[in-house]
Chain A
Amino acid sequence: MTRSSRLILAAVALAMALAYPLPLWHIALQAPQYPEGLGLYIAIDRIEGENPHDLSSINNLNHYIGMKVITPEDIPELRFMPYILAGLIGLGLVAALAGRRWLLATWVVVFAAGSLAGLADFYRWTYDYGHNLDPHAIIKIPGMSYQPPIIGGKQLLNFHASSWPAAGGWILVGAMLVGVALVVREYRARPGAAA
C-alpha cells in the first residue's frame, strides 16, 4: 500500500470511533397531535429518545396497537456491537500498519459483511416489533403491521415514520466508501503485485 493509502486508512479507522458517541440511525415520527415530532436514536450500544421522554412516549403510544415495549436492555446486540466495531477499527489499523493490501481488502469485506448483517438484524427487530403484536391490542386493523422502514418514509396510521442514517451511521457509510476507493486504488495501481 502507498504511504498515503495507509495514512488515509488509519485516519478512517480512527474516525469510525466517532460512531460510539454519535447515533447510527434516526427514526422520526410525525403526527397531527405531535407537531414537534417524536424521535428515536439508535446508537451502537443504546436506543434513546430524541428528546428526554420520547422513548417512553413512543412506548406508551405503541400500547394501543399492541406493540411490545421497546426496552433497550432486552436487545443483546446493543451489548456486543461495540466489540464488533472495536474489532473493525482494530483490523483497519492493523491493515494500515502492515501496509498489506490484502488486509485492506479483507477489512472492506468484513466491514461490508458486518454492515449487511447489522442491517438485516435491524430489519429483524423492526419486523418483530411491527408484526408480533398483542392479540388483545386496543386497535386492531386487519392486515396492518407497524414495521418502520429501514430507509425512507412510511405512513403508520396517524404517524408518518421516516428512517435514515444518523451522524454515526453516515461516518460508517463514508468509511466503507473510502475503504472501497482505497482497494480500487491499490489494486488498479499495481495489479497483481505482491504487496
Chain B
Amino acid sequence: MTRMKSWARTGLAATAIAATVITISCGKASTPAGGAGDAASRVYVPPGQHDEFYAFMSGGFSGQIGVYGLPSGRLLRVIPVFSQDAEKGYGYSEQSKALLMTSYGFIPWDDSHHPSLSKTDALNDGRWIFINGNNTPRIARIDLADMHTHEIIEIPNGSGNHASPFVTQNTEYVVSATRFSVPTPQRDVSISEYKDAFDGQISFVSVDSATGKMSLAFQIHMPGFDYDLARPGKVASHGWAFFTMYNSEQAHTLKERNASQADKDYITAINWKQAEQCVKNGKAKPGPATYAHNWVDDADIARHEMLSGTKVLQPVDCPGMAYFLPTPKSPHGVDVDPTGEYIVGGGKLATVIPVHSFSKMLKAIEDKAFDGELKGIPVLKYEATIAGEVADPGLGPLHTEFDQNGFAYTSMFVSSEITKWRVKDQTVVDKIPTYYSIGHLLVPGGDTRQPDGKYVIALNKITKDRYLPTGPELTQSAQLIDITGDKMQMLLDFPTIGEPHYAQAILASAIKDKQVRIYQLEENKDPFGVKAEKDVKVVRKGNVVHIYMTSIRSHFTPDNIEGVQVGDSVYFHVTNLEQDWDVPHGFAITGARNAELLIMPGQTRTLAWVPERVGVMAFYCTDFCSALHQEMQGYIRVSAKGAGTPISFNAPK
C-alpha cells in the first residue's frame, strides 16, 4: 500500500510539473515576460521618427529631470536643475552658479521629486515645468522652450519640501509644505518638546502669468505634523488645495512605528482663495524669513538675491481657510479627479482607498459636521465627506492618476501592482503587476481636466532581476502599460536616471515646434560676450585676467595666449559664434578644478581657472563639432608669479 501510494504520489507530482511547464510555456508564447505579445511593435518608433509624448521624470536623488520620449522610453535629455552637472558646466560656469545659491550658501545638489507642468484652465499649457528640491526646500522653474532651469526659489521656514510644487489650475501658485516639522522660527529647543515647539508650514508661491517669475505669497502656520503630498483642486474644486499628512501622533522618534498608530490621519483642505482674501484684509502677520531667490536674467546670466520676511496666516485668524478631512491611514498621495469632485487619498497603511467628495465636503462645512478641532482647524466627520472606499485594491496604495473615461489608476507599493478602478462607484476593474515596488505613476495629462490617456507608466523603486545586473547599484525603472483596452497590458520596461518619483507627460505636438534651436548672437547681452573674432581681447586687472574669446568650427580665437601668471584668477569667457542648429562647442583646460563648459550657439559661458604651475597648458573643444574637431585646441602660457611676460594673444585684424 505504502509503496503504491508513493508511486501514485510521484506520478501525480510528475503530471503536475508537466502541466506547470506546459502552462508556463503556453503563457510565454502569448505573453512573454509579463508583456503583451505584440508589445514591440506598439512601442517601436522607427529610426528618424518622433515619439508621441515628452515625459518629464524627476531624477530623485540625482536632483535633475530626465526627459524621455513615449512610447519608446528613449532618454532624450537630462535637464540639470538642483545638482551641478560637470558635463554641461551647469552650476560651474560663472553664468549658472548663482542658481544654486541658498540661505545656506552654495548647495550643489538636492533631491527632486515632483515635476509639475504649468497649466491654463486645468490643461497643460506647455510653458514651464516646476520641480521641488526636497532637502534644502526649493522650487525650480524650467522653461519648456529651451529645457533649461531659469529660476530657483528657496522656501523659508520649512523642512523637507515634499508636498510641492503641484501647480494650481491656472498656475496661480505652486505650493510647498513641511514634511519634517521643525521649530519655526528655528531655535535651540529640546527635541522632546516636539508637540509644543514644532510647527508645520504650508506655503503658496505665486507665479507671474507673463514671465513665470515666482515669489513667496504667504505661508500658513500649521500644527507640527508631517505634511506629505499635495494636489490643488480643479474645475469644481478650483480655489482649494489638498495636502496629506501623517504623524498626527506627533511622534518625534522612531516615527516608523510611533507615527503609525492612529487609525486615521488627515487630508488638509486649504481654501486658498479665502487665504488670499485674509491676506488682503490684513490678517497675515509679518514673520521672520531669510531665503534665496535666483533667476536667469535677459542676458542669460543667473542672478542671486537674498530676501527677508514673510506673511504668515494663523488658521484661527482666517476662518473658513483650513479643514482636516480624516483619512485612513498615514495617507501619502492625494489626487483630484478630472472633474475636481473626487479627492483620492493614498492611505499607504490602509486596506481601502478612501475617496472624498468635494461637494459633500462643502456641505459638511456648511452643516458644521465637525468632529472637534485641532489647533483652531475644524476636523470634518469622516462619514460626512467620504464618497466611498475602494475595497480590496491591493496593499499600500500611494498615488492615483486618471484617464479621460472615468477610471483611476492607483499605485500599490506593497503588493507591487497598479489597480484600475471606476471613479464613480469606486469599483476595482483590473490589476496589473509591476516590477517592483511602484511608487508614483503617470498618465499623460493625468492630473488635468482632460487626460490624454493611452498609457500609464509605473515608476518603480526596485528592479532586482529585471535588467542585466550592474554590481550592487541597480537602475530604477519605468514601465509603460497600455490602458486603451479593458485590460491593462505591459508593453515596455526602461531604466531611468536617479530614482523617478513623480513624472508628467505632455503631447509632443504641444511643445516640439517651439524648441529653441540657437541663441541669437546679435541678441547676446553677456557683458563678456564677443560677437566677432576681430573683437576678442585679453585684459589684465591686477591679478584678474579676462579672456574674451570665441569658438566656431573649428578653432578658438585667440588660440595662443601669453602673459598669465601662477595664482592669477583667469576667466575664459567663451562665446560660441555658431548660428547653426546642434553645433555646441565645449571648452576644457588642463588642471581645471571645476568642470568644462558646454556652450550653445550664440551663448557665452565663463570658466574660472587659477593656474597653479608654470608651463604651457592646452585647452580644447570637448564636443565633437566637425571634421577638424581634433584641431580645435590652443595654448596658454603660464609664467611664474611676478614674471614680466606681457599679455599677448593672436587674433585676426
Query: Which A residues contact B (CB, under 8 angstroms)?
Result: 36, 52-53, 56-57, 60, 64, 138-139
Contacts and interface: CB of A to CB of B under 8 A. Distances in A.
Given A52-B579, A60-B578, A138-B628, 13 more contacts: A36-B581, A53-B518, A53-B579, A53-B580, A56-B579, A57-B579, A57-B580, A60-B552, A60-B553, A60-B580, A64-B627, A64-B628, A139-B627
A127 to B, nearest CB: 26
Nearest to A57: B580
5 contacts: A56-B579, A60-B553, A60-B578, A64-B627, A64-B628
Interface string B127-161: 00000000000000000000000000000000000
Contacts of B579: 52-53, 56-57
B578, B579, B628 pick with most chain A CB within 10 angstroms: B579
B633 to A, nearest CB: 15
Nearest to B552: A60
Contacts, number: 16
A57 B626 CA distance: 13
B523 to A, nearest CB: 12
Contacts of B578: 60
Nearest to B48: A35
A138 B553 CA distance: 12
Interface string B488-526: 000000000000000000000000000000100000000
Nearest to B631: A138
A44 B553 CA distance: 31
Interface in B570-586: 578-581
Contacts of A139: 627
A175 B581 CA distance: 39
Contacts of A56: 579
A52 B580 CA distance: 10
Nearest to A58: B580
A138 B631 CA distance: 11
Interface in B342-373: none
Contacts of A52: 579
Interface of B: 518, 552-553, 578-581, 627-628
Nearest to B602: A53
Contacts of A36: 581
B626 to A, nearest CB: 8
A60 B581 CA distance: 13
A52 to B, nearest CB: 8
Contacts of A138: 628
| 3 closest cross-chain pairs (CB), A and B | A53-B579, A57-B580, A56-B579
Contacts of A53: 518, 579-580
A53 B581 CA distance: 10
B378 to A, nearest CB: 61
B600 to A, nearest CB: 14
A60 B578 CA distance: 9
A139 to B, nearest CB: 8
A60 B552 CA distance: 8
A57 B517 CA distance: 14
Nearest to A36: B581
A178 B259 CA distance: 92
A36 B628 CA distance: 23
Nearest to B627: A64
Contacts of B553: 60
Contacts of A64: 627-628
Nearest to A139: B627
A139 B627 CA distance: 10
A60 B627 CA distance: 13
Nearest to B601: A53
A56 B580 CA distance: 9
B584 to A, nearest CB: 14
Contacts of A57: 579-580
B518, B578, B580, B628 pick with most chain A CB within 10 angstroms: B580
A138 B626 CA distance: 12
B484 to A, nearest CB: 32
A56, A60, A64, A139 pick with most chain B CB within 10 angstroms: A60
A36 B579 CA distance: 14
A139 B552 CA distance: 17
A138 B627 CA distance: 10
Contacts of B580: 53, 57, 60
A68 B581 CA distance: 23
Contacts of B552: 60
Nearest to A35: B48
Contacts of B518: 53
A56 B289 CA distance: 51
A192 B551 CA distance: 70
B524 to A, nearest CB: 14
A56 B627 CA distance: 18
A139 B579 CA distance: 22
Contacts of B581: 36
A56 B531 CA distance: 13
A177 to B, nearest CB: 40
A138 B629 CA distance: 12
A136 to B, nearest CB: 13
A52 B581 CA distance: 12
A52 B628 CA distance: 25
Nearest to B580: A57
A134 to B, nearest CB: 14
Contacts of B628: 64, 138
A138 B580 CA distance: 20
A52, A53, A56, A57 pick with most chain B CB within 10 angstroms: A53
B372 to A, nearest CB: 67
A53 B553 CA distance: 15
B632 to A, nearest CB: 12
A138 B518 CA distance: 26
A64 B580 CA distance: 16
B627 to A, nearest CB: 7
A100 to B, nearest CB: 53
A56 B552 CA distance: 11
A56 B628 CA distance: 18
Nearest to A138: B628
A53 B552 CA distance: 14
Contacts of A60: 552-553, 578, 580
A140 to B, nearest CB: 13
Nearest to A61: B553
A36 B582 CA distance: 12
B585 to A, nearest CB: 13
A36 B518 CA distance: 14
A8 B580 CA distance: 46
A77 B311 CA distance: 70
Nearest to B555: A63
A139 B553 CA distance: 14
A139 B578 CA distance: 20
A32 to B, nearest CB: 12
A60 B518 CA distance: 16
B518, B552, B581, B627 pick with most chain A CB within 10 angstroms: B581
A138 B632 CA distance: 13
A51 B552 CA distance: 19
Nearest to B520: A52
A56 B579 CA distance: 8
A101 B484 CA distance: 75
B157 to A, nearest CB: 48
A194 to B, nearest CB: 62
A40 to B, nearest CB: 15
Nearest to B582: A33
B598 to A, nearest CB: 19
A83 B627 CA distance: 44
B343 to A, nearest CB: 48
A61 B581 CA distance: 13
A138 B628 CA distance: 9
